[in-house]
Chain A
Amino acid sequence: MTVDQGGRRLIRFDNVHKTYKTGTDALRGVSFKVEDGEFLFIIGKSGSGKSTIIKLITREEKPTQGFVFVDRFPISNMQRSLIPVLRRHIGMIFQDFRLIESKNVFENIAFAGELVGMPRKKLIQTVDIVLSVVGLRNKAAAMPQELSGGEQQRVAIARAMVNDPKLILADEPTGNLDPQTSESIMALLEEINRNGTTVVICTHDSNLVDRMKKRVIEIEAGCIIRDDMDSGYTVCAVAPHIEGGKS
């Protein structure tokens, strides 16, 4: 396995192309870098290529051309057996929460720790801590269907945090939530980021992106058309430039 020697760089896309078997060109020469501890929004219309970027980061897909490195894992030519190891470094959050309905809150969160063989005692302590962080310590025994959407997303965030990942990858985390709950979820993700975890969010929520003033990468038709620091959903104060940002 080759290893990227890129220092604190957590994600690197080098001229990445992705063409699906159907012939759809999802990404066309995408290059960007994400440093350890960054907070990044990836925005764009439906079908622009945002989900493909997430699939490449989690090695659900392989690039057709170009190189992707995530936490020094070379996604392009990575052994299949290393995929679970890569994913244990990534906490995933989804729009539809994806909680296991037959397990209670504690079990849903502990499940992620069990997978990596965390000792029972440490697992109980860790779940307790992450439940405190997301403010659901009193809901440990509740079943997912007894929780509100916001609470379910907090459980999903707690699950993403339990293995202390280097990267949290969120795909439309506020898509199913009301504005007030969305604010609290984003505040929580910001708090997690302040503690050193890199957060990458794909979203359509223009209000949140505008308000948070973080790095924004905008994708259109498989190309990066904007990569700005401290930016918003639409180009405003900062002048746009292509394929740049923090590279």
Chain B
Amino acid sequence: MSIRAFFNSIREGFQGMLRHPLVTLASISTILLMLLIMSMFIIFSADARHIMKNVGQQPPIEVYMKLNGSEEERAAITKYLSEDKEQVLFFEAATPEQNYNQFKTNLGSSSSILDDFDYNTYLPYTYRVQLVKPSFAGDVVMHLEAFPGVNKVMQEQQVMIFLTKAMNWVNVGTASAFAVLFLISLFIISNMVRISVYSRATEISIMKYIGATNAYIRLPFVVEGAMVGLISAVCAWGITYLAYSKIFSMLMSKVDPGSFYSILPMHSLSTLVLLVCAFSGVLIGAFGSGVSVRKYIQV
């Protein structure tokens, strides 16, 4: 196929969309709906990951040593935390004095009530541990609890378990919704292509008789499908942008953006959503048209 013939096919693809505007509109609407749902899942997934990351960055695990713990017991824990680089991102040990000072700082102006507090008697050595992934918490906690000298291991595991499960649900939901909507889109695009093929039946029969290849005849339909997908993607992105910006301003108006349960603003998700929508839209449109047109056009 020559370059000019290729560009002619592209032009034909654009003209095809205008030849049957209602069918094109129906196809755009279906793909748009699919991409909107997908965008929703993408954003939810990104927000869930963001929150999990924030939670992971808090000290999710705090290890409280027994008050009469020995130096060797603390050294064993320090050794374990230092060596387990696959699961432990960072840890810090705090002496009873450091914990006392932190306690006083937290009390602010009321800290004077602790002035005579004997921290060496009542406060333990502690460890604050940050994990590489929140899902490592169970394993690390189990190991820490097995050490002699450990009194208690506190963790934010419930939040992390919930978020990990939520992420899995989101992933399964996204995949299922995508599969169902993908099939619906294929059906709609197939109809669009069929109408498009019928409206160009004479032209196609002439093209066949004068020696056009299958690729030459099919390309305009694939371009048409890809353009429908791209238009749907841009519309889906626009609607998502406006809707999520509104939701973000409503939800986050009284929330500190630095808090661990803050969600991501739209501008930081915008490119991701646009790229995923554009890629998916073009892929679905082109693939759907390509598959359908094979059925209707055979040289």
Question: Using Cβ atoms and an 8 Å threshold, which residues of chain B touch A81?
Answer: 213
> Cα distance A99–B207 when bound, in Å?
11
Q: Is the CB of A115 within 8 A of B207?
A: yes
> Cα distance A84–B217 when bound, in Å?
11
Q: Is the CB of A98 within 8 A of B202?
A: yes
A227 to chain B, nearest CB (A): 26
Per-residue 0/1 for B178-220: is the Cβ within 8 Å of any A Cβ (1 yes, 0 no)?
Answer: 0000000000000000000000001101111111111010000
Question: Using Cβ atoms and an 8 Å threshold, which residues of chain A touch B8?
Answer: 114
Q: Is the interface of B mostly helix, strand, loop or mixed?
A: helix
A79 to chain B, nearest CB (A): 12
- Knowing A114-B4, A117-B2 are in contact, say whether A87-B203 is a contact too (CB < 8 A): no
Q: Is the CB of A84 within 8 A of B213?
A: yes
Q: Is the CB of B211 within 8 A of A87?
A: yes
Q: Is the CB of A117 within 8 A of B210?
A: no
CB contact between A92 and one of B2, B203, B209, B213 (< 8 Å): that residue: B209
Question: Using Cβ atoms and an 8 Å threshold, which residues of chain A touch B205?
Answer: 98
- Knowing A84-B213, A84-B299, A115-B216 are in contact, say whether A100-B206 is a contact too (CB < 8 A): yes
The answer to whether A163 has its CB under 8 Å from any CB of chain B is yes
Q: Is the CB of A117 within 8 A of B211?
A: no
Category for how many chain A residues contact B? 20 to 34
The answer to whether B250 has its CB under 8 Å from any CB of chain A is no
> Cα distance A90–B206 when bound, in Å?
12
Count residues of B near A (Cβ-Cβ below 8 Å). 19
Q: Is the interface of A mostly helix, strand, loop or mixed?
A: helix
The answer to whether A80 has its CB under 8 Å from any CB of chain B is yes
Most buried by A among B202, B208, B209, B213: B209
Most buried by B among A58, A90, A92: A92
- With both beta carbons as reference points, the residue of chain B lying nearest to A118 in the complex is identified as B2
B230 to chain A, nearest CB (A): 24
- Knowing A84-B299, A120-B4 are in contact, say whether A115-B203 is a contact too (CB < 8 A): no
Question: Using Cβ atoms and an 8 Å threshold, which residues of chain A touch B208?
Answer: 87
- Knowing A115-B5, A115-B216, A117-B2 are in contact, say whether A83-B210 is a contact too (CB < 8 A): no
Question: Using Cβ atoms and an 8 Å threshold, which residues of chain A touch B209?
Answer: 58, 87, 90, 92, 98
The answer to whether A159 has its CB under 8 Å from any CB of chain B is yes
Question: Using Cβ atoms and an 8 Å threshold, which residues of chain B touch A100?
Answer: 202-203, 206
> Cα distance A213–B117 when bound, in Å?
127
> Cα distance A114–B216 when bound, in Å?
11
The answer to whether A166 has its CB under 8 Å from any CB of chain B is no
- With both beta carbons as reference points, the residue of chain B lying nearest to A156 in the complex is identified as B206
> Cα distance A159–B207 when bound, in Å?
11
Question: Using Cβ atoms and an 8 Å threshold, which residues of chain A touch B211?
Answer: 84-88, 90, 112, 115-116, 163
Q: Is the CB of B210 within 8 A of A163?
A: yes
| A interface residues (Cβ-Cβ under 8 A, vs B) | 58, 80-81, 83-88, 90, 92, 98-101, 111-112, 114-117, 120, 159, 163
Pairs across A and B, CB under 8 Å, 18 listed: A84-B212, A85-B211, A86-B211, A87-B208, A87-B209, A88-B210, A98-B209, A100-B203, A101-B202, A111-B206, A111-B210, A112-B210, A112-B211, A114-B8, A115-B212, A116-B211, A117-B4, A120-B4
Using A81-B213, A87-B211, A163-B210 as known contacts, list a sample of 11 further A-B pairs with CB atoms less than 8 Å apart, ordered by residue number in A.
Answer: A84-B212, A84-B213, A84-B299, A85-B211, A98-B209, A101-B202, A114-B2, A114-B8, A115-B207, A116-B211, A117-B4
